[in-house]
Amino acid sequence: MRVLITGGAGFIGGALISKFLSETEYFIFNLDKLGYASDLSRIKSFDSNYQKRYSFLEVDLSNKEEALDAVRESNPDLIMHLAAESHVDRSIDGPETFVYSNVVGTFNLLEAAKDHWQKLSEIRKNNFRFHHISTDEVFGSLGKTGQFRETSPYDPRSPYSATKAASDHLVSSWHHTYGLPTILTNCSNNYGPWQFPEKLIPTVILNALFEKPIPLYGDGLNIRDWLFIDDHIDALILVAMKGQIGTSYCIGGNSEKTNKEVVHAICNSLEEICPTNNPYKNLISYVNDRPGHDRRYSVDTSRIHLELGWKPKCTFDMGIKKTINWYKDNLKWCNTVLTRSPTLGQKIDFT
């Protein structure tokens, strides 16, 4: 099987490629434009035997010709589309980049995929899949009760979530209009090793380790459902291989936490792993809330559980400890990737 993964230099894409290289015999094509948050060091750590099945394509999907050429070159049986700008705060400061990357890029990839799929032999055509990976943020904000599910109405509140919602609609329409065999997944907040350090959990870990203020938006009571990266990767592969064409699946960690609870959980775990005389919680500093900050996300995973048998294996406590230990042991990597950030990691994402 030939698999084209877009955004493979990102957090989720890199984990997906690593899983495919280590546990399958597939030929993997990694398409990425290499933005500030991109990193290939995880994939480059694989030895030459794995590298024989891996190809890197430096492509910006907002360029139509580059997208067409990349799909022709990779000649895929499966496309897993993760490439996207994903930092909410950055989308507020500069939404245009998000429109080009998330909307125009998805449109160009769909057009290239449609052209490729229509020319395949019947056997390959019947087995082809286009899997679009999206976010639960497209559904907006919840009150104290309720959960997002596949039938939830779209109600995006930020430029980031609006562009992801647009890309979801494009994917769905290319299936219904042209017959392209698409599958869509909407996931909750991911965390784990190798995540770019400007995201909430690595930011808290690193600031705590270096005894810097730990920023917390507003009252800290915004709620997110946290999904450990390994569980998400297992779900993505399962959906890509066995999911129902033309439908969507919500993927969540069943771990609803307020941002305040997340920060306190990290501080408590750090007290066990790296005890200090000054409690880590003393570093917590409340900062002004950001515009349009959604209050609560929660994901109903009933469909993927009932249809495909998936459920998360990693509890939040287990995942946090694994994540803390990884960042503690990989501070050199963190410093290296942060030097590529336009604001040296000062733009912290609390989605």
- From the candidates 137, 225, 231, 349, give the one annotated as an active-site residue: 137
- Interior/surface letters 223-254, b for 16+ CB within 10 angstroms, e for the rest: bbbbbbbbbbbbbbbbbbeebeeebbbbbbbb
Verify whether residue 271 is a known catalytic residue: no
130 - beta bridge partners? 79, 182
Q: Which residues contact 311 (CB under 8 A, 6 or more apart)?
A: 254, 301, 305
- From the candidates 32, 39, 89, 136, give the one annotated as an active-site residue: 136
C-alpha–C-alpha distance, residues 69 and 66, integer Å: 5
Taking residue 336's Cβ as centre, other Cβ atoms within 10 Å add up to 12
Burial class (CB in 10 A: 0-12, 13-18, 19+), 191: buried
- From the candidates 160, 280, 297, 327, give the one annotated as an active-site residue: 160
Q: Which residues contact 8 (CB under 8 A, 6 or more apart)?
A: 14, 16, 17, 28, 30, 31, 32, 43, 56, 82
Nearest Cα to Cα of residue 211 among 275, 278, 288: 278
Verify whether residue 168 is a known catalytic residue: no
Verify whether residue 327 is a known catalytic residue: no
CA dihedral 77, 240, 161, 63 (to 10 degrees): -10
Q: Which residues contact 173 (CB under 8 A, 6 or more apart)?
A: none
Taking residue 143's Cβ as centre, other Cβ atoms within 10 Å add up to 7
> Which residues are identified as catalytic?
136-137, 160
